[in-house]
Every structure is written in C-alpha cells, then in structure tokens.
Amino acid sequence: MRIRRLLRILWVVIRRRLDRLIPPHAKLPRRLSLMIWLLRCMPVPSQSPSTSLRLALEELGPIFVKFGQLLSTRRDLLSEPLADELQRLQEQVPPFPGQEARAILEMALGAPVSTLFQTFKTEPLASASVAQVHEATLRDGSPVVIKVIRPGIDIIVQEDLKVLYLLADLVNRFSVDGRRLRPVDVVHNYENIISGELNLKLEAANTIRLREYWLDSGKLFVPRVYSEFTRTNVLVMERIQGLTSADIQGLHGRNVNMKVLAHLGVEIFFTQVFEHNFFHADMHPGNVYIDTSDSARPTYIALDCAIIGSLTEEDKDYLAYNLIAFFRRDYREVARLHIESGWVPAETDLQEFEAVIRSVCDPYFQKPISQISFGQVLLALFNTARQFDMEVQPQLVLLQKTLLNIEGMGRQIYPELDLWETAAPFMERWMSERVGFRGLIRQLSEHGPALIEQLPRLPTVALTALQDMASLARISKEQTQVLRALQQDINAERRQRRQSRTGGVLLLAALASLLIPATGYAANEWIIGSSLLGSAGIYWMFVKP
C-alpha cells in the first residue's frame, strides 16, 4: 500500500512540476540533480509553484491538506507567497454514511443508540477530515452533538505519516535550503497534533478544563462534555446556539455591539495566555461562535479544543516584556530580552541585533497604532531573530498563530480595533502583579505557607550548609595537594626519561664514531649516517612521547 501511495505522490509531484519549488542554487546529489534536470523537460503548468503545491496537497487527500494547513502557520519558515497560498487550503471531505456512524457509536458505547438517546440524526451536521458531527437528544431531552472519528482514519494517518517522514528525510538529506526548514521537526509536530485530534478523550479533557476556567464568567462559554458517553473515538457535547464569528452580516442584523465584541475577544485571548496559561490554539471562525441573546453584551462560544497551547513562566515574562518594549520602541531592550531568554545564542552581537530589529520594526510605526498588527509584530521579530539562529519553539508558533486568528477575527468584526489600547492595561496590570510590591505580596501568598513550614528547620539547614562548605573546602585542599604531588612525580619521571634518552643518543653517537670509520665508509657517508642517528636521537628524546 505504501509503494502505491508513493507512486501516486510521485505522479502528482511530476504532473504539478513541484520541482519548481527547489531553489536554482540548491546543492543536490548528482543522481537527484539528473532527475530534476529530466523533470524540468516536462511541460510547465500555468499556475505558480505555490499554487501548484496547494493543488497537489488537495489532490492527495485530507491528511495532506491538514498538513498544509499546519505548514501555513509556520511563517517563520516559509516565504510569504507560499504561506498565503497554503492558508487557502480547504477541507472538502464528503461525509461517510450516517448508518456507519451509528454502528461506531453503538460499538463504542456498548448499547443500541435507541436506548442511549431519544433521537439521533443519521444525516451529519458537519464533516471534516478526521471526524464528523451528528445531532442527537439525550433521554432526558438535553440537545447534544456527537463527534465520531472516521472509520479507518487512524490507519490512513499512520500510512501518510510514514510517507511524510520519508519525504522530510529526503529533503533533510539532500537539500541544504530544505534542511533550514527543519522538515522532520515539522512532520513530528504535525504527528502530535493529528494524534491529539484522533483521541477524543484528550479533546474532552481540554474542553472540561477550559470550561472550568470560564464558567460563570459571562465572557466565554464552553459547552458541557458528557463524559459518560465519551470514548477515544466518540465525543458527546452540549449543543450550542449562536452565529459563527464570520457571519458579520448576521451580527449586524441583530444589532450586536461590535466594538464590545472585538475588545472582549482580545481580553479573552490575553487572559488565556497570561493568567490561565491554557489557550485555545485553533480559534478560527469555524470554532468560534457568538451568543447574541444580549446584543449589547455579546459573548463568545468556543468549540473544538483538540489543540491547546501553554507557555513556560519564563516565556510568558519575556514575551510580555518584549511586547511592551516594542510598543515603547525600545529595540535595545527587545534585543537584550531575546539574548537573555536564550531565544537567540548568547554570543549574538547586541548592537548588530538591535540595528536589524530596528530596521524591521520601525516601518510598523509609520501607520496609526490601530493598524499595527500584534501577530505581524511577532512574525517580524521571529523572522528577524531567525537570521541570528533563533530556534522558534512550537509553543511560540502556536501563540503566534492564535494571535493572528484572534486579531484577524477582531478586525473583521470591528475594523477600528486598537489591539494595543485593549491589551496595554491588561499587560501593565499583569506585569505589576509579577514585579514590585504587589508581585512580592502575591509570591508570599502563594509560597508563604511552605516558607513558614520550613522556618523551624532553617537553623539546622544553615548549620548543615556551613558544614558542607567546610567539608568541600577540605576536600578541595586535599585534592590540590594530591594533584601537586602527582605533577611532581610526572615531572620527575619526564626528567628521568630525558636523561635516559640523552644517554642513548650519546651511546649511538659513540657507536657511530667507532663503527663507521672501521667499515671503510667515506667521510661524507659517515657524516650523513651520524646526522641520521642524531636526528633519530633528537626525535626520541624531545618529540616522541
């Protein structure tokens, strides 16, 4: 099956002439260069190389489409035209039969659908590459939706992943330019994401946790998960009512306060990232709905929590300081933070890095601040740092992708959205809680009980530490004395060897002076022989270890 799949991929690559994506100056092995040369004799499609890649991925099926969608978020690795083209990828997946979904549901839950649910619609509500969704009603009348994993999709995913790893390995082995894209790491990242989407128990756990964070907040609603009906391949959730965030006309038709809605989205994002450290990382319009029951105070509804992101405390701090420094146009601080955080190598020249950041970021301030894109700022910073060997962490890429989604959605809802105006008070409040007096109080409140518990042990701990330090000093002194004695022994042994070698050289010279004239050699031959013996002696005495 894999051979057949490889042949199909090869045919698509040839027909779409994807060799055009290989840079002309790329250094390839001789055999591969010959194959590329032969391939370039084939007719050239009318589409651009980027468009041809998108069409090829759509032709190869939903798993490759999903991989292309993930790849489109890696703007730190791709050219802008290629990333824009991949962003246009759409999953056009026909649904599988509803009766088959019913059979999967009964097999997973171990009972007939008629005994578990009051109603079950065999006609799917939505269909995607990994799963499809059906409407149903519980026995108590609660409306729900049931997400069912496609039958056999796990086998297809594993086979396609093997092919993707093979292709990534070829790119990594044969192309210096391709190696810069870290293809194996990209495929590995995709494997983690797709594996998470295939495990609906993981999505259920993420949904439950996100719901707990926002329960009764009046800002973000997360549907209830019915855990008793949830399995690895089946997820049952509360059915929601609302408009998709992309339905701008519908939102206007219901007189929704668009400014409030856009600013609320920004607040939710920053709260998820900096306070909860648990952010929904797939918030495109298809996963974000709007509750318009109160048009003056609309709220968001989050769906599909398969992909969740989080940052380390250090990354959160450095990210916040970076954003604040950027909007203050303190590029030296931005450069310093990148180096201090370890995002770029420690030996990076601070002044050179600052100059490059300034040249990239200053143009953003040529337009009104309401038009400055946070997502594009992060992208510019990451792309600039890449020139200095910055390794972009997966969690930062997820954050950038989410920020671009949130910002794009916010500007679509309310074009005059000033993201910094909304974010600045939040960021300043958050930073004040991290540092200064308020930060100290918070740290004490969090860690105070543990510190108080340790107070009675402090004298013992201090005494033990002093004893350990004294012991270490004594051991260090003893080791120094041993090393000094060992060095003296080594030096004495070297002197003895040198004396032995000197004696050997003198002995050789004496033998030469006695033997060579006696054997009747000419004077010049005697001189040459003595020189050779002398050279051997010098080598033996001074060079040979």
**DSSP assignment string, 311-358:** --HHHHHHHHHHHHHHHTT-HHHHHHHHHHTTSS-TTS-HHHHHHHHH
The single residue of 76, 160, 282, 304 carrying the catalytic annotation is: 282
What are the percentages of helix, strand and coil residues in the chain, rounded to 5? 65, 10, 25
Q: Is 330 a catalytic residue?
A: no
Residue 328: CA count within 13 A, CB half-sphere: 13
**DSSP assignment string, 447-514:** HHHHHHHHGGGHHHHHHHHHHHHHHHHHHHHHHHHHHHHHHHHHHHHHHHHHHHHHHHHHHHHHHHHH
**In 3-state terms, what secondary structure has residue 194?**
helix
For residue 523, count CB atoms less than 10 angstroms from its CB and return exposed for 0-12, middle for 13-18, buried for 19 or more. exposed
230 secondary structure, DSSP code = -
203 secondary structure, DSSP code = H
Q: Are strands 220-221 and 299-302 parallel, antiparallel or unpaired?
A: parallel
Residue with tokens 């009512």: 241
For residue 232, count CB atoms less than 10 angstroms from its CB and return exposed for 0-12, middle for 13-18, buried for 19 or more. middle
Residue 331 CA to chain centroid, in angstroms? 25
Calpha distance 407→415 (Å, rounded): 10
- Assigned token pair, 98: 């509803």
The angle subtended at Cα 366 by Cα 362 and Cα 367, nearest 5°, is 130
Q: Pick the closest to residue 251 from 283, 218, 299, 287 (CA basis).
A: 299
Which active-site residues does the annotation give? 282
